[in-house]
Amino acid sequence: QSALTQPASVSGSPGQSITISCTATSSDVGDYNYVSWYQQHPGKAPKLMIYEVTNRPSGVSNRFSGSKTGDTASLTISGLQADDEADYYCCSYTISATLVFGTGTKVTVL
């Protein structure tokens, strides 16, 4: 049972914005300030999209943004495109210097 809960699926039409939530259900994540997000297309390795809650690595589209309110972190994808259809995982650093992944969310572009 993961310490991070995500919705199983989220969908949207091209051009729309969608938001994926990631709720911490355990105090193991501490202040929850080290949340990262990963995109995974079928049959591919995951790709880092957001780090430290809000920061985008070089090369990641600015259509992807991260935020946090209390125990819930969120990934927003604006201007949804067909290639955004993938699985998305949140991940948090814990007080034991380990990492824990969220349950994963399948994004469907209608």
How far is it, in rounded angstroms, from Cα 104 to Cα 91?
10
Q: 39 pairs with which residues across the strands?
A: 47, 88
Q: Which stretch binds another protein (CB under 8 A): 9-17, 42-50, 68-76, 78-86?
A: 42-50
Q: Which of residues 81-110 bind another protein (CB under 8 A)?
A: 87, 89, 91, 93, 96-104
Residue 97 DSSP label: S
Q: Name the residue type at position 85.
A: E
Phi, psi of 51 (to 5 degrees): -130, 155
How far is it, in rounded angstroms, from Cα 12 to Cα 77?
10
| CB nearer to another protein: pick between 13 and 31 | 31
Q: Which stretch binds another protein (CB under 8 A): 16-24, 50-58, 61-69, 75-83?
A: 50-58
Site string for another protein, 51-80 (x = CB under 8 A): xx----x-----------------------
Q: Which of residues 8-27 bind another protein (CB under 8 A)?
A: none
Strands 105-109 and 9-12 come out as: parallel
Binding site for another protein (CB under 8 A): 2, 34, 36, 38, 40, 45-48, 51-52, 57, 87, 89, 91, 93, 96-104
